[in-house]
Amino acid sequence: ETGVTQSPTHLIKTRGQQVTLRCSSQSGHNTVSWYQQALGQGPQFIFQYYREEENGRGNFPPRFSGLQFPNYSSELNVNALELDDSALYLCASSLDLPRHTDAFFGQGTRLTVV
């Protein structure tokens, strides 16, 4: 167990809806990164939060947004869901940026958009 927990583990949404995914980082870690992993692909970096500020963003549209709280837990919000958003969403926590040093991944949230 890594100490990084994500909720929910599975989710089914309809195209056009909005979704919020949650991540509790490992104790002592102040950096959370979010990734999208499509089936059979490597994780794609969405964005990273460090001490409640966004620090780095991958090639994802603005309808992907996030938040980090004072306790360093984080949320990923996706608006206007599309079928291609179906994927495993992973969060990883680490201590200090920008090196993504020793990132520990949660078990992921599998999102299905129908």
Of the pair 9, 79, the CB lying nearest another protein is at 9
Residues 27-86 that bind another protein (CB under 8 A): 33, 35, 41-45, 48, 55-56, 58-59
Pick the stretch among 11-19, 21-29, 70-78, 106-114 that binds another protein (CB under 8 A): 106-114
Return d(Cα 54, Cα 66) in angstroms, integer.
8
DSSP 59-105: S--TTEEEEE-TTS-EEEEE-S--GGG-EEEEEEEESSTTTTTT-EE
Tokens 């980082």 -> residue: 25
Of the pair 14, 42, the CB lying nearest another protein is at 42
- 106 interacts with another protein by CB under 8 A: yes
Of the pair 2, 71, the CB lying nearest another protein is at 2
- 1 interacts with another protein by CB under 8 A: no
Backbone angles phi, psi at 73, to 5 degrees: -70, 165
Asked whether the beta carbons of 35 and 44 are under 8 A apart, the reply is yes
Which residues make up the interface to another protein (CB under 8 A)? Answer: 2, 33, 35, 41-45, 48, 55-56, 58-59, 90, 92, 97-108
